[in-house]
Amino acid sequence: MLCESDDAHAEAGVAVEHLAEVIESHFMAEEAIYFPTISGLRPEFKQQLAGFVEAHQRIGGSLRDIARLLKRDDFEKTVEALDCLSKELGEYQSAEAKIFRKLEEIIYLN
Protein backbone atom coordinates (compact mmCIF):
# COMPACT_ATOMS: atom_id res chain seq x y z
CA MET A 1 0.00 0.00 0.00
CA LEU A 2 1.25 3.49 -0.85
CA CYS A 3 1.86 6.00 1.89
CA GLU A 4 0.59 9.58 1.53
CA SER A 5 3.90 10.84 0.13
CA ASP A 6 3.84 8.07 -2.50
CA ASP A 7 0.29 9.09 -3.42
CA ALA A 8 1.32 12.74 -3.73
CA HIS A 9 4.35 11.76 -5.79
CA ALA A 10 2.22 9.68 -8.15
CA GLU A 11 -0.35 12.49 -8.43
CA ALA A 12 2.41 14.98 -9.23
CA GLY A 13 3.66 12.73 -12.01
CA VAL A 14 0.16 12.40 -13.45
CA ALA A 15 -0.34 16.17 -13.22
CA VAL A 16 2.90 16.87 -15.10
CA GLU A 17 1.97 14.34 -17.79
CA HIS A 18 -1.48 15.94 -18.15
CA LEU A 19 0.05 19.42 -18.32
CA ALA A 20 2.46 18.24 -21.01
CA GLU A 21 -0.41 16.77 -23.06
CA VAL A 22 -2.50 19.95 -22.81
CA ILE A 23 0.38 22.25 -23.68
CA GLU A 24 1.54 20.00 -26.53
CA SER A 25 -1.99 19.97 -27.98
CA HIS A 26 -2.13 23.76 -27.79
CA PHE A 27 1.28 24.14 -29.40
CA MET A 28 0.40 21.68 -32.17
CA ALA A 29 -2.69 23.72 -33.04
CA GLU A 30 -0.63 26.90 -33.16
CA GLU A 31 2.04 25.33 -35.34
CA ALA A 32 -0.39 23.58 -37.70
CA ILE A 33 -3.10 26.22 -38.04
CA TYR A 34 -2.39 29.65 -36.62
CA PHE A 35 1.27 30.21 -37.35
CA PRO A 36 1.15 29.18 -41.04
CA THR A 37 -1.96 31.32 -41.55
CA ILE A 38 -0.43 34.37 -39.88
CA SER A 39 2.86 33.86 -41.68
CA GLY A 40 1.10 33.58 -45.02
CA LEU A 41 -0.96 36.71 -44.49
CA ARG A 42 1.68 38.76 -42.67
CA PRO A 43 5.19 37.58 -43.60
CA GLU A 44 6.73 40.25 -41.38
CA PHE A 45 5.82 38.04 -38.39
CA LYS A 46 7.54 34.93 -39.77
CA GLN A 47 10.70 35.32 -37.66
CA GLN A 48 8.76 35.90 -34.44
CA LEU A 49 6.60 32.86 -35.14
CA ALA A 50 9.70 30.75 -35.72
CA GLY A 51 10.89 31.92 -32.31
CA PHE A 52 7.62 30.68 -30.82
CA VAL A 53 8.16 27.25 -32.36
CA GLU A 54 11.61 27.16 -30.75
CA ALA A 55 10.02 28.14 -27.44
CA HIS A 56 7.54 25.28 -27.86
CA GLN A 57 10.45 22.87 -28.18
CA ARG A 58 12.20 24.29 -25.10
CA ILE A 59 9.02 24.17 -23.03
CA GLY A 60 8.34 20.59 -24.10
CA GLY A 61 11.89 19.68 -23.15
CA SER A 62 11.44 21.33 -19.76
CA LEU A 63 8.30 19.29 -19.14
CA ARG A 64 10.11 16.06 -20.07
CA ASP A 65 12.94 17.03 -17.71
CA ILE A 66 10.47 17.63 -14.89
CA ALA A 67 8.87 14.22 -15.46
CA ARG A 68 12.32 12.57 -15.33
CA LEU A 69 13.23 14.43 -12.14
CA LEU A 70 9.98 13.32 -10.50
CA LYS A 71 10.68 9.71 -11.42
CA ARG A 72 14.14 10.01 -9.84
CA ASP A 73 12.60 11.50 -6.68
CA ASP A 74 14.80 14.57 -7.08
CA PHE A 75 12.38 17.01 -5.49
CA GLU A 76 14.82 19.89 -5.06
CA LYS A 77 15.70 19.90 -8.76
CA THR A 78 12.02 19.34 -9.65
CA VAL A 79 11.04 22.49 -7.77
CA GLU A 80 13.85 24.43 -9.49
CA ALA A 81 12.77 23.11 -12.89
CA LEU A 82 9.12 23.99 -12.20
CA ASP A 83 10.17 27.51 -11.25
CA CYS A 84 12.13 27.85 -14.50
CA LEU A 85 9.18 26.46 -16.49
CA SER A 86 6.84 28.93 -14.83
CA LYS A 87 9.09 31.83 -15.81
CA GLU A 88 9.52 30.50 -19.35
CA LEU A 89 5.76 30.09 -19.81
CA GLY A 90 5.20 33.60 -18.49
CA GLU A 91 7.73 35.05 -20.93
CA TYR A 92 6.21 33.03 -23.78
CA GLN A 93 2.69 34.17 -22.94
CA SER A 94 3.81 37.78 -22.76
CA ALA A 95 5.57 37.61 -26.14
CA GLU A 96 2.61 35.83 -27.72
CA ALA A 97 0.16 38.40 -26.34
CA LYS A 98 2.32 41.20 -27.72
CA ILE A 99 2.32 39.81 -31.27
CA PHE A 100 -1.42 39.14 -31.16
CA ARG A 101 -2.08 42.72 -30.01
CA LYS A 102 -0.08 43.92 -33.04
CA LEU A 103 -2.15 41.65 -35.28
CA GLU A 104 -5.39 42.98 -33.81
CA GLU A 105 -4.24 46.52 -34.50
CA ILE A 106 -3.46 45.63 -38.13
CA ILE A 107 -6.81 43.87 -38.58
CA TYR A 108 -8.88 46.65 -37.08
CA LEU A 109 -7.00 49.44 -38.80
CA ASN A 110 -7.43 47.86 -42.24
Helix axis angle for 75-109 and 46-71, nearest 10°, is: 160
Q: Is pLDDT above 60 for 88?
A: yes
HEC letters along 11-40: HHHHHHHHHHHHHHHHHHHHHHHHHHHHHH
pLDDT value for 78:
93
Mean pLDDT (the chain) is 90
Domain chopping of the chain, boundaries: 4-109
The Cα 72–Cα 11 span in angstroms is: 15
The Cα 69–Cα 90 span in angstroms is: 22
Average pLDDT over residues 10-22: 88
